[in-house]
Amino acid sequence: MTTLRLVLADQLDRAVAALAGLDAGADVVLIAEVAEETTYVPHHRQKIALLFSAMRHFAEVLTADGVHVDYVRLDDPANTGSLGGEVARAVARHGAARVIATEPGEWRVRRAMDGWEASIGVPVEIRADDRFLCSRDRFAGWMSGRKAPRMEHFYRDMRRLTGLLMDGDAPAGGRWNYDADNRGRLPKEVVVPARPRFAPDVTTQSVLDLVAARFPDGFGDLEPFGWPVAREQALAALEAFVADQLPGFGDYQDAMKRGEPLLFHARLSAALNIGLLRPMEVCRAAEAAFRAGDAPLNAVEGFIRQIIGWREYVRGLYWHFMPGYAGTNALAATRPLPGFYWTGETDMACIAETVGEIRRSGYAHHIQRLMVTGNFALLAGLAPVEVEAWYLAVFADAYEWVELPNTHGMALYADGGIMASKPYAASGAYIDRMSDYCGGCRYDPKVKAGPKACPFNPLYWNFMIEHRARLAGNPRMALPYRTLDRMDARRVSEIRADAGRILAALEEAPRWLPRN
Ligand code: FAD
Ligand code: DLZ
Ligand code: SF4
């Protein structure tokens, strides 16, 4: 009896659930490049190339292991263009009696999969994705009875569960969280260590040619392309990060610098999210560096917290609150996404720089995502669905399970405070403190009103005024509301007028959408 085992583009792990119990003599593994998945948002062209190249490399590994892989290429004339269509075709081709898949990372795909049994006519088993450390059931148990889930509590639970950075029952160093040590601005003399790039091999080059031909007007530069596309490369990237950047990860985690998109960040999310790396091996490598005295605790704790804390937490929230989660809009934000999110053509240097980096590489680090593009979208009241489609498209590491809670909840507060205890709203002063962007900007973060004023300034206070009813009661917002209450009426009307002008101009700004 032939079983068809489906492996999606972000499930490229030999130990993925769908491959457990594989009978190499009888079973067929289906991996399919399909048009529908390349176009549901206009993905960055490097993201498409990364996935196709990684899928093809993974297929080569399985084939070398004696597994029968049925690999469908995007340009196969018989390709139906959808995952469901390709599963149906493969079932017929191989006379498969059943299908085994691993749960996908997006509600949209899960809903489609739930219909396959009826449309294809064979049993379809959808297995839990056990590449995560916290199962959906465990997360549901953790959530039960909690009024306000908080990442910090979840994280401690995960530290105990994994034993990472634990000395017996106590956290290493005596504290659970060293975040307070991790807010440094980057001193001028600090040199950011270089990191490996993975030059395209023949497989990647043929994918790059395919993507260039198929998506000539797609978003983002296709080359230079240097993503790790196979497990050995991802392991090399991990090793280099642990040796070279991890020691500085904590101190400069929130810093931003022109021309230095990576700083001390790992750039491992893309590899982690598609299965080339496993979360525990990444954390163990970081912990080993601490135990060997090669990286300080504030760096290693901060890094491990991102993975066993935030990463697992957002995944738990996603499945717990979907599908309703995506439809909430607590701040009633409705403005359309201005075209400069795609083109980078704006006088705001922080946004131009961040979008430029994204266009070139499919990457921006967390603070750029949260406090530059996210903060602006929050303050300007941009419509969550449009902002979320942008985040899902432009980053090489974006899948809805991780993108949505971070965007909808953390950046936009559209969930009304499930994910974040207060909006991450900030004026130009924050960006000026944490970056060198403002020095090259036509606006001035210290100017509060008039044409030279940094747009983040009036928008920040206007946001506070507009959402007073919802936010003023939040003790964590007490300080800005006290400041607002001390402002004289003339200042408040200047803010309103400036913000009104900026928002009106935004609504008239050219809109743009890449064509995939
Ligand atoms: P580092 O800063 O070096 O962190 C190490 C690892 O921790 C990352 O590789 C990642 O796996 C994990 N991590 C860190 N922060 C988070 C977080 N908040 N949520 C989940 N995992 C985290 N991450 C994605 O993987 N895909 C997305 O689509 C995505 N969208 C985001 C959208 C917004 C608005 C924001 C604010 C954050 C988003 N993040 C997303 C989280 C985070 O910004 C990225 O994981 C991180 O920037 C990836 O770069 P890195 O590997 O250099 O991370
Ligand atoms: C994002 C993406 C793209 C661009 N292409 C494919 C593809 O051709 N085949 C595939 O199996 N998956 C692709 N994906 C990932 C899916 O859109 C989706 O995000 C994940 O499968 C969710 O787990
Ligand atoms: Fe951004 Fe304002 Fe600084 Fe310009 S002045 S870079 S708009 S924060």
Q: Give residue 513's pLDDT.
A: 80
Q: Ligand 2 centre and the CA of 47: distance in Å?
A: 10
- Average pLDDT on 392-398 reads 98
Q: Is residue 385 helix, strand or coil?
A: helix
Q: Ligand 1 centre and the CA of 311: distance in Å?
A: 7
- Average pLDDT on 237-256 reads 95
Q: Is residue 32 helix, strand or coil?
A: strand
Question: Which residue has tokens 């998945």?
Answer: 37
CB proximity list for 157: less than 8 A, separation 6 or greater: 142
363: tokens are: 């990457």
Q: Give residue 157's pLDDT.
A: 97
Q: How confident is the model at residue 48 (pLDDT cuts 50, 70, 90)?
A: very high
- Average pLDDT on 487-497 reads 96
Instruction: Please give the mean pLDDT across all residues of the chain.
Output: 96
Q: Ligand 1 centre and the CA of 366: distance in Å?
A: 6
In this predicted model, what pLDDT tens digit does every residue of 418-429 receive, in sequence order?
A: 999 999 999 999
Nearest CA, atom 7, ligand 3? 348
Locate the ligand 2 atom nearest the alpha carbon of residue 33 and give its number. 8
Q: Which ligand is closest to the CA of 18, given by its number?
A: 2
Q: Give residue 184's pLDDT.
A: 73
Locate the ligand 3 atom nearest the alpha carbon of residue 442 and give its number. 4
Q: Ligand 1 centre and the CA of 329: distance in Å?
A: 23
Query: Does the beta carbon of 272 lie inside 6 Å of ligand 1?
Result: yes
Q: Which ligand is closest to the CA of 351, given by its number?
A: 3
Q: Is residue 256 helix, strand or coil?
A: strand
- The 3-state secondary structure of 165-215 reads CEECCEEHHHCCCCHHHCCCCCCCCCCCCCCCCCCCCHHHHHHHHHHHHHC
Q: Give residue 182's pLDDT.
A: 72
Query: Does the beta carbon of 437 lie inside 6 Å of ligand 3?
Result: yes
Q: Give residue 104's pLDDT.
A: 98
- Average pLDDT on 348-362 reads 98
pLDDT at 514 over 90: no
Nearest CA, atom 7, ligand 2? 33
Locate the ligand 2 atom nearest the alpha carbon of residue 38 and give its number. 4
pLDDT at 189 over 90: no
pLDDT at 147 over 90: no
124: tokens are: 């379809």
Q: Which ligand is closest to the CA of 274, given by its number?
A: 2
177: tokens are: 């969280």
* Residue from 374, 388, 407, 389 nearest 516 by CA: 389
Locate the ligand 2 atom nearest the alpha carbon of residue 40 and give its number. 17
Locate the ligand 3 atom nearest the alpha carbon of residue 456 and give its number. 2
- Average pLDDT on 257-262 reads 94
Q: Which ligand is closest to the CA of 363, given by its number?
A: 1
CB proximity list for 86: less than 8 A, separation 6 or greater: 30, 32, 34, 72, 79, 80
Query: Does the beta carbon of 431 lie inside 6 Å of ligand 3?
Result: yes
CA-CA distances (angstroms) from residue 87 to 6, 64, 75, 100, 106?
8, 23, 17, 10, 18
Q: How confident is the model at residue 413 (pLDDT cuts 50, 70, 90)?
A: very high
Q: Which of 268, 366, 391, 403 has most ligand 1 atoms within 8 Å of its beta carbon, as the pocket-test mutant? A: 366
pLDDT at 516 over 90: no
CB proximity list for 159: less than 8 A, separation 6 or greater: 165, 166, 171, 176, 308
Nearest CA, atom 11, ligand 1? 269
Q: Is residue 141 helix, strand or coil?
A: helix
Q: How confident is the model at residue 76 (pLDDT cuts 50, 70, 90)?
A: very high
pLDDT at 512 over 90: no
**Which of 160-164, 184-188, 252-256 shows the highest mean pLDDT?**
160-164
Q: Which of 345, 353, 438, 461 has most ligand 3 atoms within 8 Å of its beta carbon, as the pocket-test mutant? A: 438
- Average pLDDT on 15-35 reads 97
Query: Does the beta carbon of 441 lie inside 6 Å of ligand 3?
Result: yes
CB proximity list for 429: less than 8 A, separation 6 or greater: 445, 446
Q: Ligand 3 centre and the CA of 221: distance in Å?
A: 25
Q: How confident is the model at residue 247 (pLDDT cuts 50, 70, 90)?
A: very high
pLDDT at 272 over 80: yes
pLDDT at 346 over 90: yes
CB 255 within 8 A of CB 246: no
Q: Give residue 91's pLDDT.
A: 98
- Average pLDDT on 271-297 reads 98
Q: Give residue 510's pLDDT.
A: 84
pLDDT at 43 over 80: yes
- Average pLDDT on 267-271 reads 98
Q: Which of 6, 51, 272 has most ligand 2 atoms within 8 Å of its beta carbon, as the pocket-test mutant? A: 51
Q: Which residues have C-beta atoms less than 6 Å from ligand 2?
A: 8-10, 32-34, 37-38, 43, 48, 51, 83, 104-106, 109, 399
Query: Does the beta carbon of 458 lie inside 6 Å of ligand 3?
Result: no
Q: How confident is the model at residue 515 (pLDDT cuts 50, 70, 90)?
A: confident
pLDDT above 70 coverage of the chain, percent: 100
Q: Ligand 2 centre and the CA of 302: distance in Å?
A: 30
Q: Which of 4, 5, 7, 10 has most ligand 2 atoms within 8 Å of its beta carbon, as the pocket-test mutant? A: 10
